[in-house]
Each structure stands twice: as structure tokens, then as C-alpha cells.
Chain A
Amino acid sequence: MTNRPLTTVNYEERDGKVSWLGVSMLDEGKFHKFLSEEAGPRVEDAEGAEEFETHLHGLTSTDFGNESLKAVLAAAVSEERAWAVCEAIAEAYLSREHNVTWPWNMERDKRNPNASLPGADLIGFKVEGSSSRLVLGEVKSSSEDRYPPQVMNGRSGMGHQLDDLAANLGSICQLLKWLLPRCKNTEYEETFNKAIALYLESGNKAVVLFGVLIRDTQPNVKDLRKRGHSLAENLKEPTTCHLIAIYLPCALCELSPRISGGGS
């Protein structure tokens, strides 16, 4: 957490274990600095085909073909950058304002491809004094002139995904099994252990959920309020949930070039 204030609060409400908060970036200068120093390093350069060479080469030992796979892995994915930047902003913001750490910098294009199986955009730990909690989060972005925007609703909407995460123990355990080798023997091992201990002791409920909505519109409490109330009905102690809308001083479509160009 840094001491420099970055945002100003537009609205803040709470219903039981769920809080929702709207913040605007204070000014262009600070945002620029934030983007280049905090969010930017979290966005890796898109990789080329060479990175996959070893995997493709190894495949020959299985007697399976690699032609189609080669083509797919070599192709660049155009949509990827904008999402990556929004997630980087969310991660950097949560690190700074909520003391969340990220053991694993996940590239979006290599996420769990099987939609029916569990996954989360953000997986990290919230350190609170000597204890720590597992953080799971979803990130959405929208320029839509509707409050709330459609990304908040429906099966693939943020609300549903958060409900799913909170309700589906199996998927969280599966995430933990996946996360374990990434923390084992790293600086995150202790944090991971503490979070798991708390999680198991709480009957698999001590999780902090974050839903981050990145907007380039005017702040509006309606973006989050309805979703906040409905989540409050479903979540059980000691699960907590924070919905955060970040209102940017620039258009969403400008983000990617600004990051690539060092924020200018």
C-alpha cells in the first residue's frame, strides 16, 4: 500500500458482508504514473510462437500430430491486450488499496479453457496483520452507457460468477490444488499456508471476493448497488465481498496503447 492518494471516493455503501465502492482516478498525472509504474509491469509482452516451440517439439515423442496446434499457438490474439490491461489495473489497485498480493501473474489467453470448469480472473491473498485470506476476484470492463452495464448480469456476468465462486466449494478446492505448486517454496508459501488454514478452519468460507468493474463513464452507484444487495443475500459469514468500480480518466480503448507506449 502506498501513501499517495490515487483516487477519490464517489460512493460507498454496505449491506452486511458486502460493500460497494465507486472511485475516480484523481488526475491524469497520477493515473499516468500508476499506469506506468504499477499496472504496466503486470502486463507482459505478447509472446510469439517461439515460446511454444519446446512444447510442440516435445509432442513428437507422443506420436500425436502438431500441425493444427502449431498454427493456433503461433497466432496473435487481438482482443487480449485490452483485457490484460484492465486486469492489471484491478490487480495493481487492489495491491495498493487492499494489501492484496498476487503469487501468479496469469496471462489471460492461457486461462482454463474449459468454460464448465472453475476459474477466477484474480487469485491472490489479502494480508491482514499476521493472518491472510484467500482472494478470488472477477474483473469486468464496460463503456456502455447503462447503469449497471450488461457485463454485470447474466450467466457470464460478474454477479453470477461471484455467486458461483462463493457457492462452489469444489471449485475453490480445485483452485487451491492448482495454486499450491505456485506458492510452494516461494515467498508466498507462508501466506498461502495461513490463508488455507483460515479457509479450512472456517468450514471453507474465509474468502474475500472482489468484483472490479473498470469504467470510462461517469460514476454511478447504480453500477454496483443492485448486485451488492443480491450478493449480500447469498453470502455467508465469514466470506466478505467488495465490489469496486474504478472510473478512468481516459477511454478504455486508449489503455492498451498507453501501456505499450509507456503511458504517454
Chain B
Amino acid sequence: MSQWLLSGLNETRARALGQAKRAQIFNELVKAPTELDEELIRSSAEALELAVLDLLLEGGMEEEIQNELRIAAADAFRLLRTLRRPPEALEAGLYMLRTGALAILGDKGADAARWMMENGWPDLPVDSEDWGERTWATVLNVWLRLIRKDGWSDRDAVLEHISTLRDSQADFEREYLEGRDPVHVKGTALELIGLYHLARAAEVFAYYMTDGMVEGNYQIHQLLDTHFDRVLDVCNKAQLINLEPLSHLLAASARQMADNSIWTVTRGVNSRVTRFVNSLVDRGRGSRAIFEVLPPQRRALAEKGLLGSSRRAIVVSLPTSSGKTLIAEFRMLQALNQFDYERGWVAYLAPTRALVNQITRQLRRDLEPLDIVVEQVSPALEIDNIESDLLRQPDKSSAFRVLVTTPEKFDLMLRQGWEAEIGRPLTLVIVDEAHNIQGASRGLKVELLLATINNECRRAQFLLLTPFIRNAREVARWLGRQNAEDISLALDWQPNDRVIGIVQAEQGERISQRSFDYRLRMETIHTTRQTLAVDESVMWSGNKTIARTYSKVNNSGTLAAAFAQELQQRGPVIVMHQRADYVWSLAERFKIPENRKSPTENVELVRQFLEMEFGESFPLIELMSFGVGVHHAGLPDDVRVLMEWLFENEELRFLVATTTIAQGVNFPITGVVMASHQYPRGVDMSPEDFWNIAGRAGRIDQGTLGVVALAADNGDKANALVEFINRQSGDLNSALIELALQAGELMDDLRGIVYSRPEWSAFVQYLAHTYRQLGQPDTFGKDIEQILRGTFGFEVLRARHSSLANRLLDGVRVYTQYLQEPGQPIKLVDSTGFSLQSIRSVLGQVKQIGPDTWNGETLFDQGNKDLQAMMGTLLTVPELRRNLEAVTGGGGPNGDKLAMIVKDWVSGESLSNIAIRYFLGKGDDETRAMTKCGQNLFGKLAQTAAWGMGALLSITGSSMSEEQMRNASNLPSRVYYGVNSDEAVALRLLGVPRTAAIKLARNLDGLLGESLVSVRGRLRDMDETTWVQAFGAREGGVYRDVWRVLEGL
């Protein structure tokens, strides 16, 4: 039946859904109730429910039928929830339960739970004197709770209600039956029998939810079916008009909930996984407990058998917010278990420092209860002594099993032979945001890293996490050949409803001679991602304190601010702009009286921290008292983490950030307002990055509708934005293809290419590394084609651009001859991360750098000239030049200035002093100088200079003793972290803020003799006294609390 019913229904269904969307958008955004054709919605919903029942009775397991069922059920849910609740409590409860059950069948369980949390349900007469009413009320109540799953409290209440019902049966049931019309009494009795089975089924499910078994039985489906079969048997005998259709729905949705249960999904994998599930379910018996997985997770873990899979390469390509991290955690546990005897380890690669921090915190929180040590190594490319101890840790209980870092660092680690040094096999590599392999600047390095791992790490398996890409299978096959799997879920599941719109100012009435009033107008945009859209505009009056007139509001920054001000009434909003200086001025616009709030304890903590670090005039301190946070590359990592923390906890109303935040947001947000859709250099965001942030809009746990708004100050911009939104992310391509297309004849000379195209360095290093790895054979030139096949890009290049591929091959053959010249320092390529030609050029310049130069006591002294010489050399290295030159402000290479900044940075000079000394340009205020300083120092100089110094150490250190080398190897890390002792480096590695690390290092004994795990334990257990001793009363408390926040405690 459903086929024709659904097709016959198409037109009314679309109209009804259109109305429901419209109601949702207007109700949620502007609190304006809309006229609804309730009859249309109701009858469409009823017809859809009928179709769902029909499909359920059909019982077909074919994917097409299942999909049809899912979509019809989800639509029925969307329609039903817009209707007014019936006034009578039992009827209302029944309506909500039907709606909730349909949501579960439509994979909208999280939406239903949220809907129930937000709206509650009427007081059901669970204490009624009328036994029939009481039984119905209890059954409705417990099943509603099972759908809502508000932590352990709902589960506990289910058990309690059923037990109470059972206890009172003897007191009420007989009297109730005797009071019935004799004609109806049998039907009544049968109905009660059915209801008792529903109650018992709910009880069974509640136990299973938390324990994974019921009275020793793990077969949840059988247990549930037993009771539902009996309910339906009873219904079959009687005309139970309400009970029967409800029971059909409940039977199916209970089955679905059992399928979604975290226990079902992970059953029978291994004991480690079971312990992990226990810890997720337990979570302090609070509301953060996880009882079930999201549909994409179910698809990956259960339906696609990720956990049972022995596939070597798996690509999980799911929409943002699908819970990829949890999927990765399960895969990790499986890999760790598989190689437990060998004590194998997992590498988790995340693209940015911020994500490395976030992921480490999350993995540590989740996996530490299982005694799995999670460590991060810093993105500083060199391995210093402290990290080297961490990696070599012989003590089993302290040795890491999961290592989080950036691809660049991991690349150098592997090429420097760290897998052998660690002495345990790498068993799994997880690449987060793996779509970055097509990125122009870093993509090729990631691709070649994976190719290297694939060639050289025998046990390594791969898990690539990406937003949806079309060719996930192709990518998986590249790494795993036949032994590959892709798990892709395109666009048919979204974690929550979302609306994307263009906001413009609309000129209103004249308010003075030259100025006009205005309103804000949002046009919702139809996209391919099932976002909601309506034909009419949504209007706001606009905040007139932020901008009084049309001409004042009509620029993208102010427009974004005015709109964000409206939007924040629904929850915290991220406002993005293109550049850090724009971000500061946009943030200032929120300083209006109505935003001033007395700061919460946490906000106050961060303000005090900022005052200590940047001085009391730092503008962010005042902004925070207006509920505004700021986030851009000009702020230290610590501050950015604190901003994210406050914002995530809803202690800030606005987070004003540069567009680059789109790559790093790993938490849900209610609204996103974009003053710009471009990166600082004026390049459009990629569709992946746009959808990454857009996909975070709308929280799975609250705020049903996520909003993404793009500000347009004129019609052309609005059109451009619509086009921007509708750009598709398609196949994932290798960066090699784009690089080859751009390079053209430059590929003839791969020696020279790095000088004009430094991004080619990764490619020629790959050649050098492979050559070395194969034992530098004479036949390398002949094998080269085979070697290039190991990359993702080359095959595609050959298929699509054969002449370019041939040109590249010819270039590679010529380069091979260069590699094969006698006496080439090939090994240094792997230890420095420089191309061979860069190393040779450096070698010619460093004659004066000897073992004595690498002296931590003197190198950073003001009078010492060695650092200047080093910086001068590094400025000639193509791999570093761009970043270093940018720091000096583009006035030509200036090694002296770089050296001075580095010295101040290492010696603990405050940021504001460094900013004023080196970054205060003409017309700049202190904030601008601080921002530039931060962008250059954290974003460029610290990392690049540390890398360069590490490389110089490798190049010049061959004649140094082991002791000298050990002492020197921490010097690049001092540059990276901006501290002046090895002890402080250790504390920085543990997340202690820079200023605090320097002082605290002086007050803690024996830091260097201990493992990092044990120092971390010491810091955690350390009471405030030690902090106060190091910093004084006020600062001690603040640093301690801030560190604990940064550590995720």
C-alpha cells in the first residue's frame, strides 16, 4: 500500500512539511506564531503514520524499504511536533509517545529527546484512583522517559514507576474491573494484560540501557519481542483501537532503540571495549551518560561492522557532528586489543595545535579510566629530551598507548626512526579531518606521510575521518588495496535542524534629514544539505544601540554584530570576521549597556589570568564583562582554549573569531554569524570548512534549530554568498595534481623548484627518504614509477593528465641522479625536514656553528651573536623563509631582529613588552601591536625558528658528544615554548601557561628526573600552597585553576 499512498501523498506532504518548516523557523527565530493549517498537517501526519505501519507490517529488510520507512517516519515526526498538544493529559501523553516513537523510527531520536526535554509532557495521572487510567498513565510515562533518556534519572524513574504500579495492582485492579460495564469488561481485561506487557518491556529496556543485560540475559531483542508479541496477540483478540497501533509502533521503535544501544553496537568485541562502554554509560550516573549511539555511529560500528572488521584501511566519511571521535575511540580500543601482547600504539593526527589539545583532553578523559595512557607530543618539530623520555618510557603503566600530534611532527618522527626507538609497533593511524590532504600548502605532506607509513610500518592500519566526500572508497583503496572499506553517509542524516540565510539591512522610514531607520532581513537559502528554508523573509527590528541608522548598519561587520545581538537571545553565537584586527573592532560593537553582566566565577578567573599575562588594559578583559570573547591567531593557545571553554559552557554570549576558527571548532554552537566568508588573505573558505562550522550549528542536546547567517551589505554580495553556500564538496583529490598543474615546466628541475615553490619540498623529501629507506640502490631510477604509485595523486595524475605525469617522471629521474651523487647528506633530509638542496645550501653557511655554540647558558644572551647568524642562515632556507620574513614585517630578511625577538621570548619577557618593542607600527595602538605580535610569534616565529634550530643542530651536531647533544636538544623547545629552562619546557608540555611555567619551574624539584605522567600526577594532586609559594596568593590560585581548566580537570 505504502508505495501509492506515499506517492499519492507527495503534494500534500510537501505542503504540510512546508508549513511545519515555516512554523519552526518563525517560532524559533522571531517568536512569531504562524498561522498553521492544522488539518492539513494532521491528516498528512496520520497518512504518513499509516504508511509507516504498513511498511512495518510488510517487514521487508531491503534498504530501499527501510529508507522509505525512515523518511516517512521522520516526516511524520516533523509534522506531529508542530501540532498543538491535546488538552487532556492521557491523550497528550499518547500523542507525544506516538510522535516520539515515529522519531526513533526516523532516526530522529535525539530530536525527539530534545523536544521532550524542552516541552516536557503533561502531568500524567500515575496516581489515579481509576486503575485503567493509572495503568495507561504509567505506561505512557515510562516509554516517554525511555525515549527522552535524560541521564540516569529517567532510567531510575522508569523502574520506580513500574514497581509502584505492580505494588498497587492488588489494591485497585479488582475494584476497577468490577466497576466496568459487563459488556466491556473482557475488552478491558485484555487491554490491561497488554498494558502490563508494555510495562514489563519498558522495564526490560531500562535495565538493558545501563547494564547491557537483563537478569543475565544479553538477548535484548528476544526479550522485547516476547512481550510485544504477547501485546499484539491480545490486541488481535480485541478491538483495542488505541493500544494496538501504539504497540506496533512501540515494538518497532523499541527494536530500533535496542539497535541504537551502545551495548548492542559493541557487543562481543572485547573486554576493553566493554569496559569503555561501562565507563560511558556510567559517567557518574549523571546526565552526560551515553546510552546510545547516533545513527551514523550505529551505521559505522554495527551495520558496517567497523569493530569486527579486519580491514587495514577504513575511511569514515560522515557529516560534521556525527560523533566521529567516538567511532575512532572504539576503533582504537580494537587495535590496541589486537596488538596487546606487543603493546602496540595508536597515532592520532589532528591538523592544528588547538585540535591536538582538544582531542588529547577528550581521549584522556575517555580512555584514562581504562588505564590507557594518552599523550600528546608538541607540534614543535624536534623531539626534545623530555619528549624523547616520554616516547621511550619503559614503565608499562606510564608508557603511552595513544599519541596525539600533528601530521608534520609525526612525519619527522617516523623518518627519524622513532617507531624503532619506541620499540613497540604502530598499529593504527587515525587521520582527523583527512580531507586536508588536498590542501595546497600541507596536503601533500600528509599524503606522503601516509604513503610512507603504508610502506614501512608493518602493523599499521588506517582510519581516516573526513566530512562527506564522494570518493571515500577510492581513498580507502589507495591505502588498503583490497583490504579496504569505506563508511560513508552522505546527506540523509543531520544531527539537528538547521537554517542557513543571508542577512541584509532593509532601509526603513526617514528618521532625520539624512538618515533612515532600518530592519534586518534574512533570506533562508535552499541547500543540498536538507537545511530548512522558506519563501518569505524573516525580519528583525535590529538593535538600535549597535547601529542607529541604515547607513551605520550597512557594512558587513556592523550588520553581523546587529544580527548576532538578535540571535544571542536564543543562545551563544560565534561571529566570524576575516582578519584579527576586524575581529577586535567587531567585538567592540557588543559593548552596549544591555550586554553588561556581572561576570561568573569562571569568567572572572579568566579575566584575572589575562590581567596577569597582558596587563589590566588588555581590551579582552573589558569585553568579557559584556559577555564577549575573542579568538584569533594573535592570542596564545591558552587564551583561545579558555575562550572556547567559557563559550562552550555558555558563560560568554559572543565569541568573535577569525574565519580560521572554522577548522578548529569541535563543539556545538547555537548560532553562527559570518561577517566574512573568506580567510585573512582574501581566499574563500573551502566548502569543507564552511560545512564544518555550519555543521556545528545547533546543539544535539538543546536548541532545536541551528542558525548560520552570512551578512551581505549589498545585493551583489548576497548573490555571491548564495553561490558560495551552494558550492559542492566533491571528490577528495591529491594536492599533487594541483601542484603539478601549477608547476608545469618547473617540474623539469626538481632541485630548483623548492626555491620558487616550497610546497614541493615534501615531494622531493619523499623521494630522498624512500631512496634512503631502500638502501640507496643504483636501480632507484628504474623503480621510481613503482614508488610513485604508492601515493594517492600519481595514479590520478597519470590517468587525467598523462603528459604532466610524464614530465614529472622525467623530472624525478633527473632528481634521482642528483640524489645518487656521491657524498649526499641524504640522512639529514629525514632528520631536518628540509630538502636535500636546502641542506646543502645550509651546510655552506654554518661553518662557524660548532659544539660550543649550542650552549643554553649563553645562546640567548643579549650580547651573543650566534643566534643572529643562525637566523640569518634560516632565512635562506626555502622551507622556512616565508614564515620568517613575514615576522620581520616584509622589510627584507632581518636575522638580527628575529634573533632579538627570540631572545626576549625565551628569556620570559612579557608579550606586551615584545609587542611594543617589535610590532608597534605607525598609528598602531597597543592592542594592534599585541595582535600582530601574537600572530607572528605563536603562529610563525616560535614554530619555524624552533624547527630551523633543530635542523641546524642536526646538520652541525655530528661532532658533538652524546652529553652535549642531549643538553642542546632542548634548546629548540625553549624557543618553541618561550621559556628559559628545561624544567619549564616540561611544564609547558604539560600545558602550564608560559609565565607560570617559568616561575613554577623554579619551585618544583626533580622535574627532569620524573616521567611526564608522574609530573602530571604531581601537578594534579598539588594543593594550592605550592602554587601560592611560587606566585603569591592571588596569582597562585589563578594559575592553578587555569591550569586545571586547560588540562580538562
Q: Which residues does chain A contribute within 8 Å of B166, judged by CB atoms?
A: 63-64
Q: Which residues does chain A contribute within 8 Å of B46, judged by CB atoms?
A: 169-170, 173
Query: Bound complex: CA of A62 vs CA of B138, how far in Å?
Result: 15
Stretch at the interface among A12-20, A21-29, A138-146, A177-185: A177-185
Per-position contact with A for B232-261: 1 when CB-CB < 8 Å, else 0?
A: 011001111110110010000000000000
**Which B191-224 residues sit within 8 Å CB-CB of chain A?**
191-193, 196-197, 199-200
B43 in contact (CB, < 8 A): yes
Q: Which residues does chain B contribute within 8 Å of A110, judged by CB atoms?
A: 186-187, 190, 237-239
**Residues A108 and B183 in contact, CB atoms below 8 Å apart:** yes
Query: Bound complex: CA of A118 vs CA of B240, how far in Å?
Result: 10
Question: Given A58-B197, A68-B173, A109-B184, is A181 in contact with B227 using a C-beta cutoff of 8 Å?
Answer: no
Q: Which residues does chain A contribute within 8 Å of B9, judged by CB atoms?
A: 200
Q: Which residues does chain A contribute within 8 Å of B177, judged by CB atoms?
A: 68-69, 72
Query: Bound complex: CA of A200 vs CA of B1, how far in Å?
Result: 13
B4: nearest chain-A partner, CB-CB = A197
A77: nearest chain-B partner, CB-CB = B182
The interface centre, meaning the residue of A62, A112, A185, A200 with most chain B CB atoms within 10 A of its CB, is A62
Q: Which residues does chain B contribute within 8 Å of A78, judged by CB atoms?
A: 182
Shortest beta-carbon distance, A114 to chain B, in Å?
7
A204 in contact (CB, < 8 A): yes
**Residues B1 and A113 in contact, CB atoms below 8 Å apart:** no
Query: Bound complex: CA of A68 vs CA of B177, how far in Å?
Result: 8
**Residues A55 and B187 in contact, CB atoms below 8 Å apart:** no
Instruction: Give the number of chain A interface residues (Cβ < 8 Å).
Output: 56
Question: Given A178-B244, A189-B1, A203-B43, is A62 in contact with B186 using a C-beta cutoff of 8 Å?
Answer: no
Q: Which residues does chain A contribute within 8 Å of B47, judged by CB atoms?
A: 173, 200
**Residues B189 and A72 in contact, CB atoms below 8 Å apart:** yes
**Residues B190 and A112 in contact, CB atoms below 8 Å apart:** no
Point out the residue from B1, B42, B187, B226 that lies within 8 Å of A170, measured CB to CB.
B42
| B interface majority secondary structure | helix
**Which B86-138 residues sit within 8 Å CB-CB of chain A?**
132
Question: Given A112-B187, A196-B1, is A69 in contact with B43 using a C-beta cutoff of 8 Å?
Answer: no
**Residues B227 and A62 in contact, CB atoms below 8 Å apart:** yes
Q: Which residues does chain B contribute within 8 Å of A112, judged by CB atoms?
A: 187, 238-242
A-B contact count (CB 8 A): 161
Q: Which residues does chain A contribute within 8 Å of B238, judged by CB atoms?
A: 110-112
Shortest beta-carbon distance, B559 to chain A, in Å?
45
Q: Which residues does chain B contribute within 8 Å of A203, judged by CB atoms?
A: 43
Per-position contact with B for A30-51: 1 when CB-CB < 8 Å, else 0?
A: 0000000000000000000001
B49 in contact (CB, < 8 A): yes
Q: Which residues does chain B contribute within 8 Å of A221, judged by CB atoms?
A: none
**Residues A113 and B188 in contact, CB atoms below 8 Å apart:** yes
A253 in contact (CB, < 8 A): no
**Residues B180 and A79 in contact, CB atoms below 8 Å apart:** no
**Residues A109 and B186 in contact, CB atoms below 8 Å apart:** yes
**Residues B244 and A63 in contact, CB atoms below 8 Å apart:** no
B1049 in contact (CB, < 8 A): no
Stretch at the interface among B50-58, B435-443, B471-479: B50-58
Query: Bound complex: CA of A252 vs CA of B608, how far in Å?
Result: 93
**Which B338-386 residues sit within 8 Å CB-CB of chain A?**
none
Q: Which residues does chain A contribute within 8 Å of B170, judged by CB atoms?
A: 65
**Which A172-205 residues sit within 8 Å CB-CB of chain B?**
173-178, 180-181, 184-185, 189, 192-193, 196-197, 200-201, 203-204
Q: Which residues does chain A contribute within 8 Å of B173, judged by CB atoms?
A: 65, 68-69
Shortest beta-carbon distance, B60 to chain A, in Å?
12
Q: Which residues does chain A contribute within 8 Å of B248, judged by CB atoms?
A: 181
Query: Bound complex: CA of A170 vs CA of B49, how far in Å?
Result: 12
Question: Given A178-B241, A180-B54, is A111 in contact with B187 using a C-beta cutoff of 8 Å?
Answer: yes
Point out the residue from B183, B226, B244 that lies within 8 Å of A77, measured CB to CB.
B183
Q: Which residues does chain B contribute within 8 Å of A113, judged by CB atoms?
A: 132, 180, 184-185, 187-188, 191, 240
A-B complex: 9 closest residue pairs judged by Cβ atoms: A110-B238, A177-B245, A62-B200, A113-B187, A113-B188, A173-B46, A64-B196, A68-B174, A113-B184
Q: Which residues of A contact B (CB under 8 A)?
A: 51-52, 54-56, 58-59, 61-65, 67-69, 72-73, 75, 77-80, 83, 106, 108-115, 117-119, 169-170, 173-178, 180-181, 184-185, 189, 192-193, 196-197, 200-201, 203-204
Q: Which residues of B contact A (CB under 8 A)?
A: 1, 4-5, 8-9, 39, 42-43, 46-47, 49-50, 53-54, 57-58, 132, 166, 169-170, 173-174, 177, 180, 182-193, 196-197, 199-200, 226-227, 230, 233-234, 237-242, 244-245, 248
15 inter-chain pairs at a CB distance below 8 angstroms, sorted by A residue, are A55-B193, A58-B197, A64-B199, A64-B200, A68-B174, A69-B189, A79-B182, A113-B132, A114-B242, A175-B241, A178-B244, A180-B50, A181-B248, A193-B4, A204-B43
